[in-house]
Amino acid sequence: MPTNCRDCAAPLEPSALACPACHALTHADEIESLIQQAQQSQGKRDFVAARAFWEQASALIPPETVQYSSIRSRIAELDKILADPQFHPHGKGKWGGAAGAGSVLLAMAAKGKFLLLGLTKITTLLSMLAFVGVYWALYGWKLALGFVIGIYIHEMGHVIELNKYGIPASAPMFIPGFGAFISMRGHSITRVQDSRVGLAGPIYGLGAAVVALLAGQLTGLKVWMAIAHITAVINLFNLIPVWQLDGSRGFASLTRQQRLLVVVASAALWWVTSEGFLLLIAMAAIYRLFTKDAASEPDQTGLLQFLGLLGALTLVMVLAQSAAR
């Protein structure tokens, strides 16, 4: 239900990040608390935690504001710190390198641990086993297991991205013949956040497909190529911008002009490869040119993610299919 601004009493939509009348931030107290926690974490040189707090704070601030730009700059600085194993705030040397490397390892371990978190849920495990059982009977256990792991990684990509925005989500649930899904729990998100969450699944799914492709090239086993191909196909299918598919959510932050670029890119890739899913993406994207839900401000990051996924997934699919023959 709509609420009212505590400063000027103007009506607010549940998803509003700022008051349209006085421009006061609707989550000011929570933002201040997150900033304090981020600063405290930085003071303790816990850069992984600091980045997480800054990220949560930025999700509560309108992207067009100076505060948002300032926080994103801080996050970019922390990203450089975490990526540089030689960094140390008090000088250089082996201890500085150890501190920087330790921060990177903590970040990698935290993400890896979170990726496995869904496997601790009994409902997820049972539904995965049922899913594997169905496809085991059809294609054998190796392909079935690779299939389900690829889908699991895709779904956990959504969960990880939601977690970055401080939004709780359920662990993946698998349904044979359908796939898997997660559910959010009572939070509203912006267009940009919706796009990032939607495309996070195919981004992680692309990672799984690339790993399978590399394993196939290293081992020469065609089953790895089959896993890479089917994982790429599933994630490419999810980029069709209709219904509740990830591509539809990825389109949430794109303007009509940016959607037209997706039409051109997918049509061009279809012309080169003759892959049917690319034609479906192009046709659905044409339809979305005429709907009234296009964003008014361009989202360059969202567009680059969408186009990058189109190209990379198509490449993996073609390479895997060629090697599996």
Residue-wise pLDDT tens for the chain (325 aa)?
A: 557 877 678 888 877 888 887 777 888 888 888 888 888 887 787 888 888 888 888 888 888 877 787 788 888 888 777 776 555 544 343 333 334 434 433 444 445 544 555 555 555 555 555 655 566 666 677 888 888 888 888 888 888 888 777 676 666 665 665 556 556 655 567 888 889 999 999 999 999 999 999 999 999 899 999 999 999 999 999 999 998 899 999 999 999 999 999 999 999 999 999 999 999 999 999 999 999 999 999 999 999 999 999 999 999 999 998 886 6
Residues 6+ apart with CB under 8 A from 320: 209, 212, 213, 216, 225, 226, 228, 229, 232
pLDDT score of 205: 93
Element (DSSP H or E) covering residue 181: strand 179-181
Cβ atoms of residues 129 and 113 within 8 Å: no
pLDDT score of 302: 93
The residues that bridge with 54 in the sheet, in sequence order, are: none
Q: How far apart are CA 205 and CA 198, in angstroms?
A: 12
DSSP label at 59?
T
Task: Give the pair of three-digit tokens for residue 114.
Answer: 């979170």
Cβ atoms of residues 247 and 205 within 8 Å: no
The residues that bridge with 25 in the sheet, in sequence order, are: 18
pLDDT score of 324: 67
pLDDT score of 68: 82
pLDDT score of 182: 59
Cβ atoms of residues 143 and 135 within 8 Å: yes
Q: How far apart are CA 285 and CA 38, in angstroms?
A: 40
The residues that bridge with 3 in the sheet, in sequence order, are: 12
Residues 6+ apart with CB under 8 A from 144: 132, 133, 134, 135, 136, 138
Mind giving me the DSSP string for 164-206?
HTT--BPPPEEETTTEEE--B-S----HHHHHHHHHHHHHHHH
Q: How far apart are CA 65 and CA 45, in angstroms?
A: 28
pTM for the model: 0.64
| Helix intervals (H) in 6-121 | 28-43, 47-58, 66-83, 94-117
